[in-house]
Structure 1
Amino acid sequence: MREESAIGTGSGTVADADRGNLIDRFAPAWLRPYGRLARWDRPIGWWLLLIPCWWSAALAAIASGARFPDPVHLLLFFIGAVAMRGAGCTWNDIVDRDLDARVARTRSRPIPSGQVTVGRAKAFLVLQAAIGLVVLLQFNLFAIVLGASSLLVVALYPFMKRLTDWPQSVLGLAFSWGALMGWAAAYGSLDWAPLFLYAGGVAWTIGYDTIYALQDIEDDAIVGVRSTARLFGARAPFYVGVFYTIAVLCFGAALIAAEAGPLAWSGLFLAAAHLAWQARRIDIDDPVRALALFKSNRVAGLVFFALLLADAAF
């Protein structure tokens, strides 16, 4: 990973981005550093932010007897997830720029590598947040207030890795907020189903971000960054399995509360099987596998979503 990081810095790419990604291949040269800052070259992050929104919208459709979630809402969630994930990453990189310069995987990021100045990063942050605000204002008042409430958690997250061994839990609170938003956009209120879905999303995030943090466990120990990966150590596979189990149980409770049918339960079963496969495959000494397992959570999430849609339709 250290060699890969050095290559990334020299070429302008980022160490943990897929080689030949669309940003590096097709974006104009002036836009590429900002695309890297917003992680457009690593779309897994906005997928993981978007999927709970779509779950929630589909669950609301099931509960209301609708054949399909509001397609405008699904599109707005997509735009908002890309914008707000980019804004969150930009904020994280501004706060963490000194730490990032000391970690092999992150020193090729745009700010520590000199591709983007801090001042321009702040301006880009404001632009992305403005896009997110425009998206949020398209929903009902309850959803607007609920969505705005997430900003405090998002703002605090970068500091948590300095203060607690559980920064992944704070990330879970932020990344799972969409599990509340889809339902709120449809109903203008909350109920047990989205609350259970949100709790499951938090546990899911703790699990997959622990896997992600295994990539940096040695460097984090050197620079003093705290994480559940460092806390769990060799027991990480077991604890990831525990949090995935909690997630599945909470998702099941959400399905019961929404009176979901057998197709939704089939989706949960397939997602649970995938999560169990992940937990069994973890090797704390293999950062390449850790990244691959982390990214595979998009598969689990989309399979569950597809069968929630099917359950609403049929």
Structure 2
Amino acid sequence: MRLKAYAELTKFEHTIFALPFLLAGIVLLVEDFPSLWKLFWVFVAFVSARTLGMSLNRLIDLPIDQLNPRTKDWVHARGELSQEDIKKLVFLSGGIFLLACLMINLLTFLLAPLVVFLLWFYPYAKRITYYPHLVLGLVYFLIPLAVDVAFNESISKTALLLGVGMAFWVAGFDVLYALQDYEFDRTHNLKSIPVKYGIGGAIKISRLFHAITFLSLLALLFVLDFLGPIYILGLLVLGLFLVYEHSLIKENDLSKINKAFFTVNGYVSVVYFLTVLLDRLI
């Protein structure tokens, strides 16, 4: 029962959003079959970093989540897990993340504190800036860079372009997700792109972010000569999913946000991973 509460706290099932992009990064950035040792620790680092980020988010936002009608029944807000329980998870996941980075290589370990800082800063961002979504995007920008550092001990153009694509993909759907709290955030002096630009403006900015994602992934065609027709076809499918996602959300009708956020975004990341995997294999 307690394990279920921790799983609910960290929304472990949402790992599907970023994991396929991590796998895509490995396929694109690692020439030969990767070392199983490094591969294991990269996955440990990924899962522990995500757990750390979610735990910090829940711990820092606890007073807000207890007031927000959308979140007041979440496991931490209703007190099923105490602050001490969450702090223990923060220290455990943080320790495992640092250990995993150390086991990968020294450069990865030296860069790990930057990741920890951004994960800690993200919950505070909406208290001081209207662009917390870009802070979250920066966390995801670092994922392909971390893959490059882990396996190649360098940062390539491929990693940078993939990082930009991931950053604006996450920032774009985080803007849409924030639409749900538009009234609550305005009332409680919390900042976001919807609060600053209104619902209609936020939807347009989210579309712009996702256009940047598409163009960044498209630009990889000019950097990696092994990408071909399968990659182009996969990108077209990915683009259609993004268009469909935005067709679900209208300024006067936000009822389908969860479908756009949870379902369609899962398809986007999975489609991209399958695209690069098939292109590389065939």
TM-score by length of 1: 0.81
Tell me if structure 2 keeps the 8 A contact 1:154–1:174. yes
CA drift at 1:160: 0.6
- Of 46, 56, 70, the residue aligned with 2:25 is 56
AA paired with 2:248? R
**Local SS of the residue matching 1:133:** helix
Give the Cα–Cα distance (whole angstroms) in 2 for the partners of residues 277 and 108 of structure 1.
30
Per the TM alignment, residue 287 of structure 1 is displaced from its structure 2 partner at its CA by 4.4
Shift of 1:269: 2.1
Partner of 1:257: 223
- Equivalent residue runs for 1:81-230 within 5 Å: 81-230=46-195
Q: TM-score, normalised by structure 2?
A: 0.90
**Matched letter for residue 206 of structure 1:** A
Between 95-104 and 133-142, the greater mean CA deviation after superposition: 133-142
User: Does residue 35 of structure 1 match 2:7?
Assistant: yes
| Partner of residue 274, structure 1 | 241
Out of 204, 213, 224, the residue aligned to residue 247 of structure 1 is: 213
Query: Which residue in 2 is equivalent to 1:297?
Result: 265
The CA deviation at 1:303 is 0.8
Deviation at 1:257, TM superposition (A): 1.7
Whether the 8 Å contact between 1:162 and 1:226 is mirrored in structure 2 is yes
**How many pairs were matched up?**
279
Using the alignment, how far apart are the partners of 1:292 and 1:260 within structure 2? 35
1:104-158: per-residue Cα shift (whole Å, max 9, x none)? 1111223321112212211121112222233323323233333442122111111
Unaligned runs of 5+ in 2: none
> Within the alignment, does 1:306 sit opposite 2:270 as a pair?
no
User: Any stretches of 5+ residues in structure 1 without a counterpart?
Assistant: 1-28
User: 2:18, 2:269 within 8 Å by CA — same for their partners in 1?
Assistant: no
State the identity %: 25
C-alpha displacement at 1:71, in angstroms? 5.7
- Secondary structure class of the residue paired with 1:89: helix
The CA distance in 2 between the partners of 1:284 and 1:32, in whole Å, is 36
Change over 3 Å in CA distance of 1:72–1:258 after alignment to 2: farther
Is 2:42–2:150's contact at 8 Å kept on the other side of the alignment? no
1:222 maps to amino acid: T
Alpha-carbon distance in structure 2 between the residues aligned to 1:181 and 1:260: 22
Instruction: Measure the CA separation in 1 of the matches of 2:137 and 2:231.
Output: 23
Change (3 A) 1:236 1:154: same
CA contact (8 A) 2:98 2:112 kept: no
Write the distance in 1 (CA, Å) between the matches of 2:36 and 2:119.
27
Shift of 1:49: 3.3
246-255 or 72-81, larger mean C-alpha shift? 72-81
CA distance in 2, matches of 1:72, 1:272: 35
**Structure 2 Cα separation of the partners of residues 214 and 300 of structure 1:** 20
Measured after TM superposition, the shift of residue 75 of structure 1 is 4.8
Deviates more, 1:296-305 or 1:125-134: 125-134
Letter in 1 for 2:238: A
When residues 186 and 258 of structure 1 are mapped into structure 2, their CA distance, relative to the original with a 3 A threshold, is farther
- Greater helix share, structure number: 2
Summarize the Cα distance change of 1:70–1:244 in structure 2 as closer, same or farther, 3 Å threshold.
farther
Alpha-carbon deviation of 1:76? 4.0
Tell me: CA distance 1:254–1:160, structure 2 relative to 1, closer, same or farther (3 Å): same
Structure 2 vs 1, CA of residues 287 and 84 (structure 1 numbering), >3 Å: closer, same or farther?
farther
